[in-house]
Chain A
Amino acid sequence: MQKFARVSWGDDGSRINPVAGTNPMTEWLNPLVLMANFVLVPGLVYGAQLALGALGITLVFGILRFSNFAHGDTMAFGTMITILMTWLLQSWGVSLGPLPTALLALPIGIFLTVLFLLITDRLVYRHYRDVRAKPITFLMASIGIMFMMNGLIRFIIGPGEQIFLDGDRFLMKAREFKKLTGLDEGLAIRTSQVLTVVVAIVLVVLLFWFLQRTKTGKAMRAYSDNETLARLSGIDPERVVKITWIIAAGLATIAGVLYGLDKSFKPFTYFQLLLPMFAAAIVGGLGKPVGAIVGGFIIAFSEVMLTYAYKKVGRYLLPEEWQPDGLLQLLSTDYKFAISFVILVVVLLVRPTGIFKGKVV
């Protein structure tokens, strides 16, 4: 009770809303801003991060035809290198002003991750392609690679949590927003959030331009649709595979760095992102880039909306005598995996190909 007293509650528990009588709009704007601050913005940002991760999974699935269990650790690997480079740059006194230094370090992170994935492809996956192994063998090999990356990450940077965000934390603080609009609820927007959404949009546009317009992109889509036909048309499968790994590594590193800037970097959390990312890719339809993006947002918004405590929103919208005692939280945040899982299961049961008719090999 005490926590919200300043906002709109009097000492006797009755609602005091100074502007309510004068402007009925604020009556509705306050809960809307509240929802935007705690549901819309975090959902958008998390969705963008999941979408970038799921795009990597879906591309690898489309071209190499297996579920890459090492993807979460690929994200962590790229992020780790970016963090190490960021620390190096910071020790040199380099900074990007209001933007995080990690952006400068990102290209090196991407480069080394690409290199790592190309080496693993050459040493591990290529053999299984040559002997035309079953998808499940690829999956198991990816578990082996997951182990190795995980070991390297823990060895180099340790299993602990790292925070590497610098520059301006906020683009708009909650207090400034309140002053600006005169509302009781504030809308805070962090730099990392804007960065995530902008970078995600640019990357997705670039990716789709690449897949739709360039010769290589068309070759990739052709290979994904029908491998035999693509080979007959003179498409070099090894080249397609290489480009897929390069794109997947780039997307994974960027997604990982954005997630780390927005929240924090912890190797185990990145491993756990595997489930929501797979759920996103499957919900959208495995092998379909559009599906991965839509799926990412579906998963993210379901998670945020179901784990948000609506108590405060209820205070604005419900009459006084209906005020609930509880938090109005549908599900504790500890069970957010359950949400990805339930969505996944429902999609598998109702429409195994996903929204955009992906592959079921």
Chain B
Amino acid sequence: MRALIAFVIMAALLAAVWHIQSPTVALGMLNLCLISAVMALGVNIQWGYAGLFNVGIMGFAALGGVAAVLVSKAPVAEAWSAGGSQIGLTALCFLGTIIATTFAHRKTKGRRGHFLIVMLVAVIGYIATRHFYGPAVDAIESVDPGKTGYLGGLGLPIMVSWIVGGLFAAGAAWLVGKIALGLRADYLAIATLGISEIIVAVLKNEDWLTRGVKNVTGLPRPVPYEVDLQQSAWFREKVEAFAAEKLTGLNGAAREEALAGLITEYSGLFVKLCYAGLFAIVLIVILTLCVLALNSPWGRMIRAIRDNEVAAEAMGKDVKGRHLQIFVLGSAVVGIAGAMLATLDGQFTPGTYQPLRFTFLIWVMVVVGGSGNNLGAVIGGFFIWFLWVEAEPAGTWLINLLTSGMAETNWLRLHLIDNAQHMRVFVMGLVLLLVMRFTPGGILPERVKAR
């Protein structure tokens, strides 16, 4: 019941935006709300189900973004011929180094000179890798650096990258989880914070892979382009039928002009609606799976582990294994959302991955929505994104109102208006603290079945 009311209020808020601001803003917001909700679901799997504190969400979302590039962009043939073989050798050397080092570690463990031998193997591997890596990178990055200068992708449909993004994030999560799970919660938090900074640093600097801060723009779309729609007879007919009311009474040139305006407007909305439909399908599928999982025996086991690890372990549950599983699953969902975000943006810009926006904001969503409750995570994602977007104009409006007594050119007033947008960060902190203090369960608290 509470969930229904929450969703009705949310829908009303979006409808208000539709009418007061514009339909374009409302649909744009809806799309990002949907993506945020998917991300929040991923974090909720980790925190809400199992109590794992992951502060590396930014990194997993960025991995999803890079998947969008690597899957959808056309391969750059010259770059492959220039440095492909060498980059392959680099990869082989790198893998070989890891395998050899692990092998050396296992074989000499506990014997004299263990550390020295392992270090020696690692150093030799490092030198060999660097030997191939340098020339390969130079060769690839010098291929038309203004436009490409990277290897490109596979040229597959971009929707494939949503799955690949999930796999990338899952792989990274498996590595991190192997190391950091099982330690106390704070350590996991710091380790994930570190890994996310490293992932973003790699994406920013390895130009041969992602073009780095030069960004990859013009990712292919899963939905039609506005220009194509505007020129298709099919879309024209639909608009004529849909907006028949607005066109009645108009004739000749005036009607043509009005129709052209409507077609332009509706083509933008139509594209956004297509995205919203795709994202909603993903959200509903993941949400359904989450609800089913949480209510299954597996879900009960996970919650039992969260509530009392020692007791669960005594009952023969594999706590470490379950934690790793949960960590990988949750990160994969975040990776899917990251790929969806890059798809919506149509570009991959590593510089935009900021921990406040991509890690801590998602946390606020989960806590405010209600950790442990799947619907709560969804509503949290919607509501907090709405607040995040709307806090900016609201802050500017408020500052304008407060400083209206000052002169137009007063430096303090100009400075405050300039920086008013940053107040939304403050508002987020306030919301988080207030919810934690006064309604620790969030908007939709976790339901605990009565015995």
CB closest chain-B residue, reference A137: B436
A337 CA / B423 CA spacing, docked (Å): 29
CB of A339 to closest CB in B, whole Å: 10
Output the least CB separation between A13 and chain B (Å): 22
Determine the chain B residues whose CB is within 8 A of the CB of A135 once the complex forms: 185-186
Contact B189 A67 (CB under 8 A): yes
Q: Which of A38-46, A86-94, A141-149 contacts B (4 or more CB under 8 A)?
A: A141-149
Contacts of A143 in B (CB 8 A): 360, 363, 429, 432
Which of the listed residues A151, A272, A278 has the most CB atoms from chain B within 10 Å of its own CB? A151
- Give complex CA distance A183, B33 in Å: 64
Among A15-23, A155-163, A192-200, the stretch in contact with B: A155-163
Q: Quick one: which of A330-361 are within 8 Å of B by CB?
A: 332, 334-335, 337-338, 340-341, 344-345, 348-349, 352, 360-361
Query: Which of the residues A151, A154, A335 comes within 8 Å of B198, measured between beta carbons?
Result: A335
Query: Would you call A84 an interface residue if the criterion is a C-beta within 8 Å of the partner chain's C-beta atoms?
Result: no
A341 to B191 alpha-carbon distance, docked (Å): 7
Q: Is A9 an interface residue (CB 8 A)?
A: no
Tell me if A308 counts as interface (CB < 8 A to partner B): no
Binds A, one of B176-184, B290-298, B327-335, B443-451: B176-184
When A278-B190, A338-B201 are in contact, do A348 and B423 touch as well, CB less than 8 Å?
A: no
A332 to B191 Cα, complex, angstroms: 21
Among residues 409 to 448 in chain B, which have CB atoms less than 8 Å away from a CB atom of chain A?
Answer: 416, 418-420, 422-430, 432-433, 436-437
Q: With an 8 A cutoff between CB atoms, is B231 at the interface?
A: no
In the complex, which residues of chain B have a beta carbon less than 8 angstroms from the beta carbon of A137?
A: 436
- Are B433 and A124 in contact (CB-based, < 8 A)? yes
> For B363, what are the chain A residues with a Cβ–Cβ distance below 8 Å?
140, 143
Is A282 part of the binding interface, using a Cβ–Cβ cutoff of 8 Å?
A: yes
How far apart are the CA atoms of A137 and B53 in the complex, in Å? 11
Q: Provide the bound-state CA to CA distance between A103 and B198, in Å.
A: 35
B361 to A, closest residue via Cβ: A147
Report A-chain residues with C-beta under 8 Å of the C-beta of B416. 155
Q: Which residues of B contact A360 (CB under 8 A)?
A: 184
Q: Output the residue of B130, B418, B426, B437 with the most chain A CB within 10 A.
A: B426
Residues of A within 8 A of B418 (CB): 158
Once the chains are docked, how many angstroms separate the CA of A334 from the CA of B212? 12
User: A338–B419 contact, CB under 8 A?
Assistant: no
- Pair B180/A348 contact, Cβ less than 8 Å: yes
Query: Which residue of the partner chain A has the closest CB to B51?
Result: A136
Given contacts A337-B194, A348-B191, A349-B179, contact A141 B436 (CB under 8 A): yes
Whether A334 and B205, one on each chain, are in contact in the complex, defined by CB atoms closer than 8 angstroms, is yes
CA distance A272 to B201 in the complex (A): 12
User: Are B197 and A154 closer than 8 Å at their CB atoms?
Assistant: no
Convert A3-20 into 0s and 1s, putting 1 for each residue whose CB lies closer than 8 angstroms to a CB of B: 000000000000000000
Q: Which residue of B lies closest to A268 (CB)?
A: B354
**Chain A hits for B193, CB < 8 A:** 274-275, 278
Of B51, B190, B202, B367, the residue contacting A67 (CB under 8 A) is B190
**List of B residues within 8 angstroms of A147 by Cβ:** 356, 360, 364, 425-426, 428-430, 432
The answer to whether residues A337 and B429 also contact, given A140-B436, A155-B422, A345-B180 and a CB cut-off of 8 A, is: no
- Let me know if B419 and A155 touch, CB within 8 A: yes
Residue of A nearest to B193 (CB): A275
Also in contact, A155 and B190, with CB within 8 A (given A136-B185, A348-B179, A348-B183):
no
What residues of chain A lie closer than 8 Å to B397, measured between beta carbons? none
Query: In this assembly, does B225 line the interface, its C-beta being within 8 Å of a C-beta of chain A?
Result: no
| Contact A144-B425, Cβ < 8 Å, known A135-B186, A139-B53, A156-B419 | no
Of all chain B residues, the one with the shortest Cβ separation from A337 is: B197
Main secondary structure of the interface of B (DSSP, over half): helix
Which parts of A260-293 form the interface with B (CB within 8 Å)? 268, 271-272, 274-275, 278-279, 282
A326 within 8 A of B: yes
A residues near B55, Cβ cutoff 8 Å? 69
Please measure, in the bound complex, the distance between the C-alpha atom of A279 and the C-alpha atom of B193, giving whole angstroms.
11
B422 and A141: CB pair below 8 A?
Answer: no
Partner of A352, one of B53, B183, B190: B183
Q: Point out the residues of chain A lying under 8 angstroms from B430, CB to CB.
A: 144, 147-148
Q: Could you tell me if B426 and A148 are in contact, using CB atoms closer than 8 angstroms?
A: yes
- Say yes or no: is B134 at the interface (Cβ < 8 Å to chain A): yes
Contact of B191 among A145, A158, A344, A361 (CB under 8 A): A344
Decide: B367 and A140 in contact? CB cutoff 8 A: yes
Closest residue on chain B to residue A70 by CB atoms = B429
| A150 touching B425, Cβ below 8 Å | yes
Judged by a CB distance under 8 angstroms, whether B103 is at the interface is no
Q: How far in angstroms is the closest Cβ of chain B from A322?
A: 14
> Given A140, A155, A338, which contacts B423 in the complex, CB threshold below 8 Å?
A155
Contact B191 A345 (CB under 8 A): yes
The reply on B73 being an interface residue by CB < 8 A is no
Whether the Cβ atoms of A275 and B190 lie closer than 8 Å is yes
- Given A147-B356, A147-B425, A360-B184, is A332 in contact with B194 using a C-beta cutoff of 8 Å? no
* CB–CB A341/B429 < 8 A: no
Q: Which residues of A contact B198 (CB under 8 A)?
A: 335, 337-338, 341
Cβ of A340 and Cβ of B194 under 8 Å apart?
yes
Q: Which residues of A sit under 8 angstroms from B272, Cβ to Cβ?
A: none
A144 proximity list for chain B (CB < 8 A):
429-430, 432-433, 436
Min distance, Cβ B305 to any Cβ of chain A, angstroms:
15
* Contact indicator B429/A148 (Cβ below 8 Å): yes
Q: A66 interface residue, CB < 8 Å from B?
A: yes
A159 nearest in chain B by CB position = B422
A278 to B429 Cα, complex, angstroms: 22
**B205–A151 CB distance below 8 A:** no
Cβ of B211 under 8 Å from chain A: no
A338 to B190 alpha-carbon distance, docked (Å): 13
B355 within 8 A of A: yes
Say how far A307's CB is from chain B's closest CB, in angstroms: 12
Q: How far is the CB of A88 from chain B (nearest CB, A)?
A: 14
**Pairwise interchain contact B204-A151, C-beta atoms closer than 8 A:** no
CB-CB < 8 A to B428: which residues of A?
147, 151
Known: A136-B53, A334-B201, A338-B201. A152 touches B426 (CB 8 A): yes
Interface string of B3-29 (1 = CB under 8 A from A): 000000000000000000000000000
User: Is B420's CB under 8 angstroms from A155's CB?
Assistant: yes
| B26-67, CB < 8 A from A | 51, 53, 55
The answer to the question of B326 belonging to the interface, with a C-beta cut-off of 8 Å to chain A, is: no
With a CB–CB cut-off of 8 A, which chain A residues contact B194?
275, 279, 337, 340-341, 344-345
Distance A278 CA – B437 CA, assembled complex (angstroms): 27
Chain B residue with Cβ nearest A67: B186
Known contacts: A147-B360, A275-B194. The answer to whether A139 contacts B432 by CB under 8 A is no
A-B pairs with the 4 shortest C-beta distances? A151-B426, A147-B429, A151-B425, A154-B422
Provide a sorted-by-A list of 7 A–B residue pairs whose CB atoms are within 8 angstroms.
A139-B189, A145-B433, A150-B356, A271-B355, A275-B197, A335-B201, A341-B198
A-side interface residues toward B, CB under 8 Å?
A: 66-67, 69, 124, 127, 135-137, 139-141, 143-152, 154-156, 158-159, 268, 271-272, 274-275, 278-279, 282, 326, 332, 334-335, 337-338, 340-341, 344-345, 348-349, 352, 360-361
Beyond the given pairs A140-B432, A337-B197, 16 more chain A to chain B contacts, judged by CB atoms under 8 angstroms and listed by A's residue number, are: A67-B190, A136-B186, A139-B186, A139-B189, A141-B436, A144-B433, A145-B433, A149-B429, A155-B426, A275-B194, A282-B190, A334-B205, A337-B194, A337-B201, A341-B194, A360-B184
